[in-house]
Amino acid sequence: METQTIKNKETDQIVTERISGSEAIVRSLIAEGVKVLYGYPGGAIMPVYDELYKYQDKIHHVLTRHEQGATHSAQGYARISGEVGVAIATSGPGATNLITGIADAQIDSTPMICITGQVPSHLLGSDAFQETDIVGISSPVTKWNCQVTKASQIPEAIAKAFFIAKSGRPGPVLVDITKDAQFEEFDFSYQKCTKVRSYVPVPKTVSGTLEAAAKLINGAKKPMIIWGQGVVLSEAEEAFKALVEKSGIPAAWTILGASALPTSHRLNVGMLGMHGNYAPNKLTNECDVLIAIGMRFDDRVTGDLTKYAKQAKVIHFEIDPSEIDKNVKTDVAVLGDAKATLTAILPLINENTHTAWHQEFKDLYAIEYEKIIKDDLYPTKEGLTMGEVIHQINVHSNGDAAIVTDVGQHQMIACRYAEFNKTKSNITSGGLGTMGFGLPAAIGAKMAAPEREVVSISGDGGYQMTIQELGTIFQQKAAVKVVVLNNDFLGMVRQWQQLFFDKRYASTEMINPNFVAIAEGYYLKARKVTKREDLAAAVKEMMESKEAYFLEVCVEKEGNVFPMVPSGASVSDIRLS
């Protein structure tokens, strides 16, 4: 590992100081610029907590109510700030409770460091109290992990962890540290990591690929851009917008790519995927050149791969070489960081408007609006819809809020209808689809960006998986706006049961508690809405509150999310009902 050393300016010697391993952990985090971390104490990590107590003026520890909540909070922090989120836990169950959040961060490319305590090194492998092989367990879902048994190994391990987590395609890293290493003293110095042998975070762009891509784009009659979170992770929003506007190409997004281009932008044609917009899904199989930028052709976007964009030449802008040709055969692969490659190709792109091609998108949008969108946002039927709740949030946030969603029907509705004027505004669990993500992730997002309005939107099912994090909101005084769209069902599963299992609603109906009473039990302002005439005022009151606020909205029990691409079907087979 090559390092950036910290030296005494007068003597040119590396500065060392004899301290304990636990203090070294805290000092290393501070050296990496960590100001907030999320966790839960326990025996094997107690020495570190003792040091955190001493360094409260430099680093703020947030006591979550569950270790999974710590990882999701760290994810929310990372996703809205672009920095590395940090979670900490003890050994055994404390460590294993991190796994869901780590797996979520891995598939969604979220930079996160998890530090776990471990039993003393002489007890490793003995099935000691609260011992578990967290390195082995986490190996499939981390970008890198390691176990530290000597205090002297701590600075290098943490420096390497931060470099790997945030470089190239980001991801989660776990460092497991034995308790004796935390007590042991050594001569501490911290050297930031700048390179790891054999690890190439950003591949070189192959000569000629930019020119080949530009030639296909300039010659296309019906080109289409699909973009993902890679645009956001590389901070390529301005370069991306410039490319879209110069080329005049209609651009559609995956849910993790949402907000890189404002929702209202004239060339933004909507969301792709199973519950995405009608036009971009349908016209994927009619375009002649498909330009994928910072996305991985997930099955929720492609549907049946044997029928996906077979008529199109495919250009793939991607930082991770393993994604090239993994799911969709690429004609031109442009490797590299999206900001760099989009900036480089811009001068090669001809100005265009593609007016007739855009009209095809508009025509299909008009069909979707009449059959679905109008009734979702401006319903005339008796029951409240999820869409009209999102619409009211748009009205009172002016599209500037960060929307943090859980997983389910409400997630798809929020992603479809929320207005995003700022980048890093759609924070959701994409690849893993983790119920319980929303509430703790919103805490992390609000703490990373206290100046922004952060709205957590959950269904009644996922909300109860991490409902205890209301205690974290209260203790931290995090002014998160918490919305639960309550249909007394596990809604997404119920929709599938209705459409594909003859309405056999097996184990999906929920008998729910008094959500308002629970929120008030955590000393939060709370309100429940059951009638349309009360909705606008309630949302206004929530959005104007300077403190945390809980709003339960009882929506129609059997409302469905459309359009819908049935599982395993072609995107051309998207259903409007």
Which residues are the active-site residues?
Answer: 67, 129-130, 179, 492
Contact between 389 and 535 under an 8 Å Cβ cutoff? The reply is yes
**Cα dihedral 105/94/474/453 (nearest 10):** -10
Q: Is 271 helix (H, G, I), strand (E, B) or coil?
A: strand
Contact between 429 and 229 under an 8 Å Cβ cutoff? The reply is no
560-564 LR contacts (CB < 8 Å, sep 24+): 560/409, 560/495, 560/498, 560/499, 561/275, 561/409, 561/412, 561/413, 561/416, 561/492, 561/495, 562/275, 562/371, 562/372, 563/275, 563/276, 563/277, 563/278, 563/281, 563/368, 563/372, 564/274, 564/275, 564/499
Closest C-alpha to 244, from 358, 323, 360:
358
Whether residue 379 is preceded by a cis peptide bond, meaning omega within 30 degrees of 0, is no
Q: Which residues contact 44 (CB under 8 A, 6 or more apart)?
A: 90, 91, 92, 94, 116, 117, 118, 119, 130, 179
The C-alpha R_g of the chain, in whole angstroms, comes to: 25
Closest C-alpha to 512, from 537, 490, 535, 542:
490
Which secondary-structure segment (H or E) carries 376?
A: helix 374-377
Q: Is 115 helix (H, G, I), strand (E, B) or coil?
A: strand
